[in-house]
Structure 1
Amino acid sequence: MRFGIFIPQGWRFDLVGIDPSEQWNTMKRLAQRADEGPWESIWVYDHFHTTPEPSEEATHEAWTLMSAFAASTSRVRLGQMCTCMGYRNPTYLAKVAATVDHVSAGRVEMGIGGGWYEHEWNAYGYGFPEIGDRLRALREGVEIMKQAWETGSATLDGRYFQVDGAIVRPLPIQRPGIPFWISGGGEKVTLRIAARYAQYTNFANGKLDEFTRKSEILRDHCDAVGRDYSEIVRSTNNNIVVGETEAEVKDRVAAIAARVKPYLSDDGFAREMSKYDGNPAVGTVEQVSEHLQALGDAGSDYTISYFPELAYDTSGAELFEQKVIPELS
């Protein structure tokens, strides 16, 4: 199994209490720590407003961070989970990503999806199209980026995007282009787009039964378009709280709850903490390893780990590095 790690950027109230003037230093320190460790990649989310509810707390922008991480790390690959197609013109996005690929010496991934956070769509003036329109726009955007990276230009007279000989140079260092992570588990459209274009997928958020079912749907889509299913790496995200004992895990979850509670409504707090209640990735080293091994046995070749305490306490991530990764790598 291969391993990536999320760098806290504020979106999940994971930089609260840190002065905004120090937040970049915190993110850079954690990125450089990952660069020196066993992680293959570092990741951020592509969102503008905090979740599970909007607030005045900072959320740092994903592609700005990609460029900054590119210049301040040397080994780890750089990903977004996942870039929202509706937030940037795809030709512009292809240009940005190609530039970051040069800054990073060829370490960029393109995590891309249709988007879902209605509040920030409307607040930023994008409207909030129906899901079918968002996913059809995703397909057009991926086609534009693929053309741009393979040939240096893009032309498409689409329903959502129209480009005519757009020049996108320099070409990315990675050939034939930056790898696509088509993210999301939509069974009729998203997984069909993944079958045609993706080098990687990301779905199910660590839920074993859902991962297994959607993997079979992806296989069916691959058969339909003539794609070798085994070419696509299937990944999951996991919200991880790990300890040596169950009591330690309980204390870690309590510390997370105490940190975020002042910033959330009662409903928002309940929704946030529900992500850890009954989650098989919240547990002892043995329990977390068993869960990830089960995902691996089901075909999850890559897991991306989110540690909610990372900006304040790296001991959980250190335990994972020392006792979980060696077991599963």
Structure 2
Amino acid sequence: MRFGIFIPQGWRHDLVGIEPAQQWRVMSELAQRADEGAWESLWVYDHFHTVPVPSDQATHEAWTLMAAFAAVTDRIRLGQMCTCMGYRNPAYLAKVAATVDHISGGRAEMGIGGGWYEHEWRAYGYGFPPIAERLGALDEGVQIMKQAWETGTATLDGKHFQVDGAIVQPLPVQEGGIPIWVAGGGERKTLRTVARYADYANWVPVLAEFTRKREILAEHCAAVGRDLAEITLSTNFNTVIGETEADVAERLDRIEARVAPFLGDATEGFMRDYRNGTALVGTPAQVIERIREIQGAGMTYAIHYFPEHAYDRSGIELFEREVIPALA
């Protein structure tokens, strides 16, 4: 089992109460701590507006953070879960990612998806195309990035993107280009893109759904002549861990008290998954059991978001001490 960790960037109201001028210090310290520990990768989200409701609280931009984290860490790999194809021209994005790969010495990952957050799409002037168009753009964009990283130029006269000899030099440090994570489980289009181009797939940690996606991906792989084993299957967990069930309950109460002043009526919805068993919440033994369940369906890379991360590291320390050794 391989492990990644999200660094709080504000998107999920996980930097509230910290002065904006101090937020980079907090994020960089957490990134450096992860770099020194057992985590294989660190991650951020590619969003501009907070969830579950847009607010005036900070949301730091993903690829700017990628470059900054590249400069202040030495070992850990750097990813986004996931970059929205609709927010940046893919040839430009390939250039940005290649530069981050050089700054980091070859540690960049490319998490990519079709995008879903309609409010920020429209607020930033991107419109909000139908899902079929967003997934068509995803497929074309991945083709452009792979071509750019493998050859140094990209040309595609597509339905959604047109590039003509876009030069991407220098090539990424990583031979063959930056690993591509395609997020999303659309069974006809997204999983077909995964089968053709991706190094990693990323799905929700629900056993029945994960199993179904794996089976459908296997069909797409067979159709394009690719071995499913070439693609690493991953998932993201929203994780709260405590020594005892009472400790877990106290942690959830503290999280709710922290975000409630900013979320108001949306607080209950924000906390629902943490309180109803959907999120990864429990003691070390309970957390290990839940991860093993998804591992049994073929998941070998678990990426964890800890809502307490910016304020309290004791849960992460417990996870590092008891969960990672039991599964790694």
Shorter-chain TM range is over 0.9
Report what 2:74 is aligned to. 74
Report what 2:271 is aligned to. 273
Deviations 1:25-76 (A, max 9, x none): 0000000000000000000000000001100000000000000000000000
The one-letter code sitting in structure 1 at the alignment partner of 2:274 is Y
1:263 aligns with 2:258: no
Which stretch has the larger CA shift, 278-287 or 217-226? 278-287
Displacement of 1:275 after TM fit? 2.1
Displacement of 1:145 after TM fit? 0.4
Report what 1:109 is aligned to. 109
CA distance in 2, matches of 1:271, 1:25: 30
Computed over aligned residues only, the root mean square deviation of the Cα atoms, in angstroms, reads: 0.7
Deviations 1:88-137 (A, max 9, x none): 00000000000000000000000000000000000000000000000000
Extract unaligned runs of 5+ from structure 2.
Answer: none
The one-letter code sitting in structure 2 at the alignment partner of 1:318 is E
Structure-to-structure mapping, 1:52-71, within 5 angstroms: 52-71=52-71
Extract unaligned runs of 5+ from structure 1.
Answer: none
Report what 1:35 is aligned to. 35
Percent same amino acid among aligned pairs? 69
CA distance in 2, matches of 1:207, 1:251: 25
Report what 2:201 is aligned to. 201
CA distance in 2, matches of 1:275, 1:28: 28
CA distance in 1, matches of 2:223, 2:144: 22
Displacement of 1:8 after TM fit? 0.1
Report what 1:24 is aligned to. 24
Report what 1:210 is aligned to. 209
CA distance in 2, matches of 1:233, 1:161: 28
The one-letter code sitting in structure 2 at the alignment partner of 1:56 is D
Q: TM-score, normalised by structure 1?
A: 0.99
Which SS does the other structure have where 1:38 is aligned? Answer: coil
CA distance in 2, matches of 1:44, 1:203: 16
Displacement of 1:244 after TM fit? 1.1
Which SS does the other structure have where 2:295 is aligned? Answer: helix
CA distance in 2, matches of 1:210, 1:23: 36
Report what 2:14 is aligned to. 14
Aligned length: 327
Report what 1:166 is aligned to. 166
Deviations 1:173-213 (A, max 9, x none): 01100000000111111111001101001012x11111111
Q: TM-score, normalised by structure 2?
A: 0.99
> 4+ residue stretches of structure 1 with deviation over 3 A?
none
Deviations 1:201-239 (A, max 9, x none): 1012x1111111111111111111111000000000000
CA distance in 2, matches of 1:78, 1:165: 28
Report what 1:130 is aligned to. 130
CA contact (8 A) 2:238 2:279 kept: no
Structure-to-structure mapping, 1:281-300, within 5 angstroms: 281-300=280-299
CA contact (8 A) 2:237 2:279 kept: no
